[in-house]
Structure 1
């Protein structure tokens, strides 16, 4: 006599929920699996929304298709996976004692109850909307659902909108900014804090800001939205905290998301310190028969050890797979935590990050960190190499790599992926300086950009180089500090672009013959640089050998200087 099939209910049908249901099915052909989804669509590729809005592709179904081109609708789930998928259906209550879920059919209003042996909560996150007057006006939207994507795609296709604002300078904000700009809409990004892209440190964030401005959009930092202005129920503009009014017909709110934990909280499931559902490495909640996955949960940072929120589609899928396996076979899969890796495309730039920024590292309790900023090509110049600018963060005490940021038109993704795995493996700078990475001119320099970053970091940790960031140099200049600034580039480079910060030009090749032009007080601070600061570093080594020991290298050189230059 066969035992009763395992009854599995999954609440949420975007990313993590369908992944958990599909994995459970692969683990157990006979389980009864029900998927409850409030939206009309299932398993949406929500990270693709900005590219649909921007016209990278035109077929909406591509956002809800399998790789074979089959739309993931209830019929597909029923036939291909033998999963009952209820769309336009809202779960309203979890009874953990009776082990039932009550739900409402949003089309008919009818209620029903379904029993479970194992339950998965994948209720995602809710977009934050600032509580300012006018937030309900027509023309004010987020980009969180298929309906939002459809509405913004219609704005693009109708070609009536001329001005838009994006409220929020994070990843989603700039993906939306690019999409609207590609649609020919003049777009302004409004960021309440002093810096866009908060996961970057300020030096790199400022370079990205310059890049965005060069492509047309405006960026306003240090100023929030006080009011959304309307006429006859329609958006006509925004009023900023400082009183400035900007006309616009569309405002996209992209100020982050909040874990959607109401259902779990009402059922008495434990909520964690940063507002998400608390789960263990098996994705179990405080109730061992209830699992939670995706944007509604908290994760553990494998770098800091602290609870964090990480609403990313890739992590949702990974967590869904772990939960789906454990639904059928307890404890057979683990999701230990995250290192917070992300990437986005902003016009011709890619912006990538992994681990902790310098700011986050200090806040996490790493009180003795070192940073290194480098610039360089991703592949050789004769192969049409493109620029990369990176910042590595390490713990001085142990040499452990804590974080990495990389921006530019070059192949950022590869470099971030390499360092992400180094951080995941708790590798040190010493481990990375001789890393055996794939090399051929179409793919890399002989010493890859990541290895160069580690070598510069190693030079700093070992005392072979003293470095300053561009912002630190700018602060010295602006405060009138008594320092000697030396540009070691060629006269031709100097004529094409100079920083205009009181620098003296002495090309590297001429340096040994022109010591008389340098400060004869050898204790005076000297700051050296070139285009990317390789020549600056070589010049610093020369000067150190001749008695000038207070010599600093401006890391990243001219290309990493985010301030105005003289042409």
Structure 2
């Protein structure tokens, strides 16, 4: 006797849902698979929205196309996938006892019921709005849906906005700022906390802020939006917490998202402490016949073991694939967790991260850490190498790599990917210092940027080098601390740009012959640097060899200095 085909219902048609449905179809040709999608579009490439808004490409169908250029609409899912995709349809209730989903067809209000054997919840997330007056004014947008992208693209094409404000200094906020810059719209980014890009440590975030300000974009930190201002129902400006009023005709809110868990919660499914749907490693909810994936769920941090939320499109696709396989072969696939890796283009900079920043590690109680900040080229200068600045974080006792931040005009992406895999594999700094990474001048230095970062960090862990951050050096200078600051660059470099913090110039090549010019108290703090602090490190070794005991290298050198310089 032939068994009945399994009935699978998927709620949500953005990323995780279609991936789960497509994987289940590949696993079982005869399964009955239905996708319920509230929006008009399916399987949207949401990370491409800012580039569509900015005019990098003009055909919005590219955001919903396969790699072969076929639009992923209900007809595509029916013909190519054998999947019934119901758009403009909202799942309004789940009856776990009768194993049904009640749906509402939005254009007509018609109610229908679908039976399931296995159910997938991929309801995504909803943008957060500041709870302030004026939030309902026309002219305030988010960039979360394809409809949002369409609206912002229309505003861009109309070319009638003189000034825009972006509320939120995270990834989406900066990607939108570039899109508006491409449209010729001056923009101000408003971030309530003291630093932009919360996954970066503050000194690196300052470097990004300096870069962004060169592109008709201003940044205000430590000051949130107190109210949106308007006339006749239309936005005319924003009022900040400190009372400042900024005129604008467009505001884009990008302060984060809230997981859509109402459907799951009303069905009695467990919700985690972080506000997302609780799932196990198989992506099963508290009901083993109901799976969940994407922005609506909580994940496990592979570094700390804690539950976290990570609303990223790549993770949604990974989780959806696991769900799709388990729908047909229960327990055959797992999603172990995340290292929290991300990357974005911010004007001419790439900004990437993986794992924990030093600040985040300390917030989580991981206080016994060591860090190393370096500056250098991605490829040799004769191949037109570009600058990268990075910071690696490791556990002092075990040497395990905990995090990495990398930014600059150079190729940060493959460096972040390399360290992401090192964190996934629980590798140590010692593992990375001799890593056999690919080398050829068009792609890398002989010692790749990641290897150099690991070697500097190893030197610190083994006590061969004492580092000091640019922030600490600035504080020393501002407070008049009793230290001697030594610039080891050439006179020409010194004349071109200097820090102006009371430094003394002694080029590295002249240092051995000018030791008498240094403080003769061997315990006095001496801080050395150069452009990227390689010469500073070599100079420190010379001084240590001659008996100075309190020698420190300013990590990253002048290139990592985010504060004003003298020219």
**What are the superposed Cα offsets for residues 275-333 of structure 1, whole Å, 9 maximum, x if unpaired?**
10010110000000000000000000000110000000000000000000000001111
The structural deviation recorded for 1:364 is 2.4
Query: Does residue 320 of the first structure (1) align with residue 312 of the second (2)?
Result: no
Query: Does residue 212 of the first structure (1) align with residue 198 of the second (2)?
Result: no
CA–CA distance in 2 between the matches of 1:33 and 1:453? 49
CA–CA distance in 2 between the matches of 1:303 and 1:254? 27
Structure 1 unpaired stretches of 5+:
none
Q: Superposition pairs for residues 520-531 of structure 1, below 5 Å?
A: 520-531=520-531
Q: Normalising to structure 1: TM-score of the pair?
A: 1.00
The structural deviation recorded for 1:360 is 1.4
Q: How many residues are treated as equivalent by the alignment?
A: 567
CA–CA distance in 1 between the matches of 2:75 and 2:215? 44
CA–CA distance in 2 between the matches of 1:454 and 1:131? 44
Match of 1:32 in 2: 32
Tell me the C-alpha RMSD between the 2 structures: 0.5
Match of 1:385 in 2: 385
Match of 1:110 in 2: 110
1:49 alignment partner, SS class: helix
Match of 1:180 in 2: 180
Query: Does residue 68 of the first structure (1) align with residue 68 of the second (2)?
Result: yes
CA–CA distance in 2 between the matches of 1:299 and 1:475? 39
Match of 1:339 in 2: 339
CA–CA distance in 2 between the matches of 1:504 and 1:250? 49
Match of 1:7 in 2: 7
Structure 2 unpaired stretches of 5+:
none
CA–CA distance in 1 between the matches of 2:312 and 2:551? 43
Match of 2:248 in 1: 248
Q: Superposition pairs for residues 477-556 of structure 1, below 5 Å?
A: 477-556=477-556
CA–CA distance in 1 between the matches of 2:468 and 2:199? 21
1:514 alignment partner, SS class: helix
Query: Does residue 405 of the first structure (1) align with residue 405 of the second (2)?
Result: yes
1:138 alignment partner, SS class: coil
CA–CA distance in 2 between the matches of 1:521 and 1:276? 59
CA–CA distance in 1 between the matches of 2:388 and 2:541? 24
CA–CA distance in 1 between the matches of 2:362 and 2:100? 46
CA–CA distance in 1 between the matches of 2:364 and 2:301? 10
The structural deviation recorded for 1:418 is 0.3
The structural deviation recorded for 1:365 is 2.7
CA–CA distance in 1 between the matches of 2:2 and 2:180? 58
Q: List structure 1 runs of 4+ shifted beyond 4 angstroms.
A: none
The structural deviation recorded for 1:479 is 1.4
CA–CA distance in 2 between the matches of 1:204 and 1:330? 45
CA–CA distance in 2 between the matches of 1:366 and 1:222? 26
1:295 alignment partner, SS class: coil
CA–CA distance in 1 between the matches of 2:479 and 2:106? 64
Match of 1:456 in 2: 456
The structural deviation recorded for 1:215 is 1.6
CA–CA distance in 2 between the matches of 1:266 and 1:490? 69
2:156 alignment partner, SS class: helix
1:472 alignment partner, SS class: helix
**What are the superposed Cα offsets for residues 469-526 of structure 1, whole Å, 9 maximum, x if unpaired?**
1001111111111000000000000000000000000000000000111001111000
**What are the superposed Cα offsets for residues 241-292 of structure 1, whole Å, 9 maximum, x if unpaired?**
1110111000000000011100000000000111100101100000000000
2:295 alignment partner, SS class: helix
2:405 alignment partner, SS class: strand
Q: Superposition pairs for residues 12-411 of structure 1, below 5 Å?
A: 12-411=12-411
2:143 alignment partner, SS class: coil
**What are the superposed Cα offsets for residues 381-439 of structure 1, whole Å, 9 maximum, x if unpaired?**
00000000000000000000000000000000000000000000000000000000000
The structural deviation recorded for 1:214 is 1.3
CA–CA distance in 1 between the matches of 2:389 and 2:193? 23
CA–CA distance in 2 between the matches of 1:67 and 1:153? 23
Q: Superposition pairs for residues 457-476 of structure 1, below 5 Å?
A: 457-476=457-476
Of 253-262 and 358-367, the range deviating more from structure 2: 358-367
The structural deviation recorded for 1:228 is 0.4
Match of 2:420 in 1: 420
CA–CA distance in 1 between the matches of 2:239 and 2:510? 56
Q: Normalising to structure 2: TM-score of the pair?
A: 1.00
The structural deviation recorded for 1:362 is 1.6
CA–CA distance in 2 between the matches of 1:473 and 1:426? 33
CA–CA distance in 2 between the matches of 1:396 and 1:212? 34
The structural deviation recorded for 1:162 is 1.2
CA–CA distance in 2 between the matches of 1:362 and 1:189? 27
1:214 alignment partner, SS class: coil
